[in-house]
Structure 1
């Protein structure tokens, strides 16, 4: 490893001392019951929430700026006293992963921990914050009559395997100490609002990591045990199992494991922005970076932050998840002072678009955790909390984009669409990307009414709002077409001066992967 890699980290460790410890024996199994003092449980819960905020703040400046590559060793990632407060006030949009999950926490506080999915979906759909990818596709679906769980299904959401619920699922584990199956039940209900298959598994796995982190301080055990909640036949399971295997094979070289992850798991199939691109918002590869940070960080907060961030891609949300899990293991009081500097002055600031601050969610989250302990047959007294620990069970198997492989893109260079827009392609599926736009001098929004035809047959009538909050992420998509040549025609039923549909590109899919090494255009 490059000796400069931990130049910044070494400075922090020199101030704080290493947090790593070597257990005499690795933990072999979860206990059936755990007794814990209330102050210890609350300290762990606070550590989980604080760890998230620390991680996302630290990784914020690098988010999706290093796609398919490592953040170089010589690049110092800033951290200083007052940084958290300053970021929360001046860049509140950075905390999108937190304010989405806090929406769900607020619903539970208002409607109860067993509130129906409709309450969560309605609060999510009508929230005031901007959303992207699976979240925005789900919001559009909900606002246009497609209810959960169909709002997250890959037939209705081209971003079903994206990491959206993965970065928002921390609350499910933090409110279920030692109860990973209860966390999975919560994620089954809420995670399917926006995700399906591997995208949903990302949230299930993160929830299980937190749940088990309450009752074990053996990071390797936590990572392995949480994986039992994921079906072994899923790609998500296989990806994380590979990271665990490579960590054993290369225990002192996280970069070698990073390269192994790239070689095997960096090809994106679902997200049309990530397919055939270095950009990768897929849940499993970003979850691999979370696990990379946890395993090679080995209980050291600085190493965990550095590695999970320097792996790239969604390099603010990944250290947020990793920092939250490690914060739960350590407890708030044992997160190094270096990483908590300036945190106290930010803990009373409400996250934008919510009525929740860190201090507020410490209280509410603790209340929900106690409710879940009692719901699972545990006991709560003033001096002791008895948790009936659940042995993790795999959730049901789901697979998005089965038998669908991206082959090429057709670029339309963001040109404005005429009243009718036509193009041809050969394959089994297509996603047409574009946006509804308005001229700079136009204030009012417009909702385009479009009719989509494939091979002369009408397949969809859809709306394209220019409003950012209710926008449709893609113009249209159609999977599972007969293999062969097809023609697409998009008709604008209500064109309006000053407004346009800007067409970006079409991602084309087939039922077989293309061998890019040997593929050519027919010309020798």
Structure 2
């Protein structure tokens, strides 16, 4: 499996071993009859040097496999490429509730939008040193933190001195660990929030997927994209257009990338999860389908719902309405909600999430969405507890911490966020988006607030 991990961290958009292996995984996960290819896939994907023609031939055969007749989940193909319409009655009830709540007072709206940006930045930074799901399991995270009284997490990750043998934090640790943070470090989880704001300012709510594609090529460096986005970018350069960019030789199309791009659509749709989900789906369709796209809808709806919700549970219930109930994502999120309803402790729920979804890659949308949901539910509205639990769950720690922090930050408002999370950020955001490095977080929040107000009229 070493060569697959190497491809994962390298040029996975072009490595036939990675594209073959992860497409085979994607087909298995979505109910296709591909088990008989296992031996060939593992043999070719583990080779030190790729046999390109053999990989492409086997990939063609895998892509021609039929769906298992007994498969019980709703998949992308079942809705003929549509986003998967949420339940109309549930959406209508939620929309009515949002309208009845009325618009937030201007000062409160800005405080909550600002809280979302700050929470996203803090949660992302908290998770960065532990980002590597191949290595940082919940038990290893605990074993690293407990000897220095840092578990459960209530502050940024410390650097142990001396570091335990064989332990290595993410390479960004010099700018993302306690007492080393000087402004919010650059991360794709924040790049896309910035890029989405620019898109909305320039194109408005009627932007197209072609607008998204053009903005990527203009403002986003190729090597600062990952997994599904990197493949979609490659496809754009090769002359494909959306939505084909999401599906051609893109085995990462149900991973977490579209989910991490979704928060901005919630920021500018306060109290309107249905609109937020629709905007996020349009953005997501350049690189994702199925559960990857539905996860983006869910995240955007969750953020939007947080503006008028009285609790994380209320926001999550609203977000659930934009996910097809019979999808694997819909079922997975319902299981987390049920674990919470039954009164299970967080560590029990986290173990259950890993048992149910450990077959997925550590940056797949489904397992990580469950970690976000659990962090919010068991965090019970407390910002510190929410992002701490979410990051302690492992997998895509910075992405999950960012989304959970965004929602928790909106629920609390910027003025109520603990200073030990926000002060080290120094109101400054590093970014690889052209023209935005060193941006003021408060200024980005004001601009998002202005877009929200403009779109409301």
Please report the TM-score for the alignment, with normalisation by the length of structure 1. Answer: 0.60
Once the two structures are superposed, the pairs formed by residues 381-392 of structure 1 within 5 Å of their partners are none
1:156 Cα deviation after fit: 3.7
Alpha-carbon separation, structure 1, partners of 2:381 and 2:278? 28
Residues 174 and 211 of structure 1 are in contact (CA less than 8 Å); yes or no, is this contact kept in structure 2?
A: yes
Counterpart contact for 2:130–2:136, Cα < 8 Å:
no
Seen in structure 2, the aligned counterparts of structure 1 residues 147 and 67 have a Cα distance that, compared at 3 Å, is farther
Contact 2:262 / 2:280 at 8 angstroms: preserved in 1? yes
Structure 1 unmatched ranges of 5 or more: 1-27, 269-273, 275-279, 375-524
Distance 1:283 1:145 in 2: 27
CA shift, 1:31, in A, is 4.5
Matches of 2:120 and 2:180, distance apart in 1: 15
- Distance in 1 of aligned mates of 2:430 and 2:136: 31
**Could you tell me whether the CA contact under 8 Å between 2:189 and 2:261 is conserved in 1?**
yes
Q: 1:72 aligns with which of 133, 142, 156?
A: 142
Shift of 1:157: 1.3
> CA RMSD of the aligned region, Å?
2.1
Contact 2:127 2:397 in 1 (8 A): yes
Q: Aligned partners of 2:180, 2:113: CA distance in 1, in Å?
A: 22
Instruction: Find the aligned partners of 2:233 and 2:309 in 1 and give their Cα distance.
Output: 37
Distance in 2, Cα, partners of 1:368 & 1:157: 33
**Is 1:225 aligned to residue 312 of structure 2?**
no
Say which structure is richer in helix: 2
**Equivalent position of 2:432 in the other structure:** 352
Q: Does the aligned pair in 2 maintain the 1:102–1:354 contact within 8 Å?
A: no
Matched, 1:107 2:202: no
Q: How does 1:181-260 map to 2 (within 5 A)?
A: 181-251=274-344, 253-260=345-352
Pairing of 1:283-322 with structure 2 (within 5 A): 283-322=365-404
Are 1:217 and 1:330, in contact at CA under 8 Å, matched by a contact in 2? no
The 1-side partners of 2:271 and 2:324 are apart by: 20
Give the greater-gyration-radius structure (CA).
1
Is 1:162–1:283's contact at 8 Å kept on the other side of the alignment? yes
Give how far 1:339 is off: 1.6
With over 3 angstroms needed to count, the CA separation of the structure-2 counterparts of 1:308 and 1:214, relative to structure 1, is: same
> Does the CA contact (< 8 Å) of 1:179 and 1:211 recur in 2?
yes
Higher relative contact order (CA 8 A, sep 6+): 2
Equivalent residue of 1:229, what SS?
A: coil
Map residues 255-294 of structure 1 onto 2, 5 A cutoff. Answer: 255-268=347-360, 274=361, 280-294=362-376
Distance verdict in 2 for CA 1:73–1:217, change over 3 Å: farther
- Whether the aligned pair in 1 keeps the contact of 2:126 and 2:177 (CA below 8 Å) is no
What is the Cα deviation at residue 106 of structure 1? 1.1
Mark the runs of 5 or more structure 2 residues left unpaired by the alignment. Answer: 1-92, 151-156, 159-175
Whether the 8 Å CA contact 1:117–1:189 is kept in 2: the answer is: yes
Aligned pairs for 1:52-63 (under 5 A) are: 52-63=120-131
Cα gap change, 1:289/1:38 in structure 2, threshold over 3 Å: closer, same or farther?
same
Mapped to 2, the partners of 1:340 and 1:39 lie a distance apart of 19
Relative to the length of structure 2, the TM-score reads 0.68
1:50 counterpart = 2:89: no
Task: Tell which deviates more after alignment, 120-129 or 170-179.
Answer: 120-129
In structure 2, distance between residues paired with 1:167 and 1:296: 21
SS in 1 for 2:224: coil
1:93-132 CA distances to partner (integer Å, 9 max, x unpaired)? xx11111231222122223332322121111134225211
Distance (whole Å) between structure 2 residues aligned to residue 111 and residue 228 of structure 1 = 28
- Give how far 1:81 is off: 7.4
